[in-house]
């Protein structure tokens, strides 16, 4: 839990912000109020520790450090070098990786670097269909991955809603991709990395695991690691892992040079050294016994919440979850994903509408929602709290917003949410 005293959390710098720019200081405080006053169920969000926030708010932000430790294009980098070296060592140790790069500004930047290391424009990349849980960087036509590369998509099976490994193999044999990507943005189940490795070897493709969502569970040893199987693992540092917003690449030693060159100078300029330092802080936190217990609890909470919502009549895609996230099909309760998102918003429950596999509805009006347990777990909530959240979420989803009775119901749910989060607040006052 992130217990902080107002004094140490904000320190004199926040006083300076309040004095010099009350408008932006107001935004910061209002956002803190929003986090404290409601339930954050966005699967890709979390509540970073005061130590991570301190590194992010430090003067390391000032330093230009193009290049890598001891090989910089600027003077005066000997101090920030230490942050990057410590962070790289921690990442390698935590994940058992031969090489780590902490400079990607985001998960999308990490993915761009992996593409650049292993493929040329026009090459074929095999990845999960966006409509079934793949990410924009896995071949969307509005993204570099779909514009500069030739994406081929695999899907989940209609019956089980699990990845169709036979189809992945067939498509790989047919299209001979340069890269095969395993990993998604809305897939609740474990991925069979050994199966992907076998398919990649058969067709001579590089295996890239986009672990953006679940790397934090791997860090906590709560699910199997892709590192032994993948040529390259890309990740974000701000989801379950609970670090600063940013990206990371782990790879085999043989690919280290190609990956480093693909991050800088190919796709980025100067690294954000405050973010690199904050990643190092988060990686240290992730090596603790407390973090491992948190990672196990994230999954236990996601499973308890999924079960509670199934009891309320919603359908968990693929029958449940092995991870931190659940996709819910709302057709059985006659509500669209958009309606559910708006109603939950009014009840101080933050989540997002999401397409479900083979969704008959268009992407802007999808049939489902995606929910995740990282933030509420960081707040210290456990399975019994999930049962309560499931009940409140269901009441909100089913409330006829815009009618007097529905709006009254949403107000009631909002006050029940306030009472619930008061017992386990985000960023509790010290």
Ligand X SMILES: Cc1ncc(COP(=O)(O)O)c(C=O)c1O
Give whichever of 2 and 185 is closer to ligand X, judged by the CB atom.
Answer: 185
Active site residue 64: yes
Whole-angstrom Cα distance, residue 151 to residue 145?
7
Min dist. Cβ of residue 413 to ligand X (A): 28
Stretch that binds ligand X, among 183-191, 321-329, 343-351, 395-403 (CB under 6 A): 183-191
Whole-angstrom Cα distance, residue 179 to residue 317?
28
Tell me which of 18, 36, 66, 92 is the catalytic residue.
66
185 in contact with ligand X (CB under 6 A): yes
375 in contact with ligand X (CB under 6 A): no
Give whichever of 169 and 245 is closer to ligand X, judged by the CB atom.
Answer: 245
Q: Determine the straight-line distance between the first and last CA of the chain, rounded to whole angstroms.
A: 12
Active site residue 210: yes
168 in contact with ligand X (CB under 6 A): no
The encoded tokens of residue 336 equal 């669209």
Whole-angstrom Cα distance, residue 10 to residue 57?
10
63 in contact with ligand X (CB under 6 A): no
Tell me which of 48, 124, 155, 236 is the catalytic residue.
236
44 in contact with ligand X (CB under 6 A): yes
126 SS3 class: strand
- DSSP structure class, residue 4: B
212 in contact with ligand X (CB under 6 A): yes
* Among the listed residues 99, 189, 213, 324, the single contact to ligand X using CB under 6 A: 213
Min dist. Cβ of residue 183 to ligand X (A): 5
Active site residue 221: no
Of how many residues is the chain composed?
Answer: 430
Spell out where 283-397 has E strands.
315-316, 325-329, 349-350, 352-354, 368-372
With vertex at residue 56, the alpha carbon angle to CA 184 and CA 226, rounded to the nearest 5 degrees, is 30
135 in contact with ligand X (CB under 6 A): yes
182 in contact with ligand X (CB under 6 A): no
The encoded tokens of residue 413 equal 């749910």
Q: In what order do the strands lie in the sheet with 325-329?
A: 315-316, 325-329, 368-372, 352-354
Q: Looking at the annotation, which residues are catalytic? A: 64, 66, 210, 236, 239, 245
| Binding-site ranges for ligand X (CB under 6 A) | 44, 106-108, 111, 135, 137, 183-185, 210, 212-213, 236, 247
């Amino acid at each position: 839990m992130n217990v902080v005293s107002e004094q140490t959390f904000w320190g004199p710098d926040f006083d300076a912000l309040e004095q010099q720019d009350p408008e932006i200081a107001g935004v910061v405080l209002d956002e803190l109020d929003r986090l404290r006053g409601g339930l954050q169920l966005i699967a890709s969000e979390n509540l970073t520790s005061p130590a991570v926030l301190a590194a992010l708010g430090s003067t390391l932000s000032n330093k230009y450090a193009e290049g890598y430790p001891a090989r910089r294009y600027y003077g005066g980098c000997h101090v920030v070098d230490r942050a990057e070296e410590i962070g790289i060592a921690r990442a390698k140790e935590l994940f058992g990786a031969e090489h780590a790069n902490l400079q990607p500004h985001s998960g999308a930047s990490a993915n761009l670097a992996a593409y650049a290391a292993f493929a040329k424009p026009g090459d074929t990349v095999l990845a999960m269909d966006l409509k079934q849980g793949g990410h924009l960087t896995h071949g969307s036509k509005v993204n570099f991955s779909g514009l500069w590369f030739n994406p081929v998509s695999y899907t989940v099976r209609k019956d089980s809603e699990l990845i169709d490994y036979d189809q992945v193999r067939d498509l790989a044999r047919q299209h001979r991709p340069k890269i095969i990507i395993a990993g998604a943005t809305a897939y609740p189940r474990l991925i069979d990395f050994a199966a992907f490795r076998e398919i990649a070897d058969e067709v001579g493709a590089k295996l890239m695991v986009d672990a953006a969502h679940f790397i934090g569970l791997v860090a906590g040893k709560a699910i199997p690691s892709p590192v032994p199987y993948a040529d390259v693992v890309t990740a974000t540092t701000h989801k379950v892992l609970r670090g600063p917003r940013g990206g990371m690449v782990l790879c085999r030693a043989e690919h280290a040079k190609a990956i480093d060159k693909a991050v800088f100078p190919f796709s980025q300029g100067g690294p954000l050294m405050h973010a690199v330092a904050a990643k190092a802080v988060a990686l240290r936190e992730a090596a603790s016994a407390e973090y491992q217990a948190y990672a196990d609890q994230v999954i236990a909470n996601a499973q308890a919440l999924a079960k509670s919502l199934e009891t309320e009549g919603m359908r968990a895609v693929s029958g449940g979850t092995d991870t931190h996230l659940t996709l819910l099909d709302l057709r059985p309760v006659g509500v669209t994903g958009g309606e559910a998102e708006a109603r939950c918003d009014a009840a101080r429950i933050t989540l997002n509408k999401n397409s479900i596999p083979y969704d008959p509805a268009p992407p802007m009006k999808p049939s489902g929602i995606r929910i995740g347990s990282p933030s509420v777990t960081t707040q210290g909530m456990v399975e019994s709290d999930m049962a309560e959240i499931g009940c409140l979420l269901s009441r909100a989803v089913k409330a006829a917003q815009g009618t007097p009775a529905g709006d009254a119901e949403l107000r009631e749910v909002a006050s029940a949410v306030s009472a619930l989060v008061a017992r386990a607040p985000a960023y509790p006052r010290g």
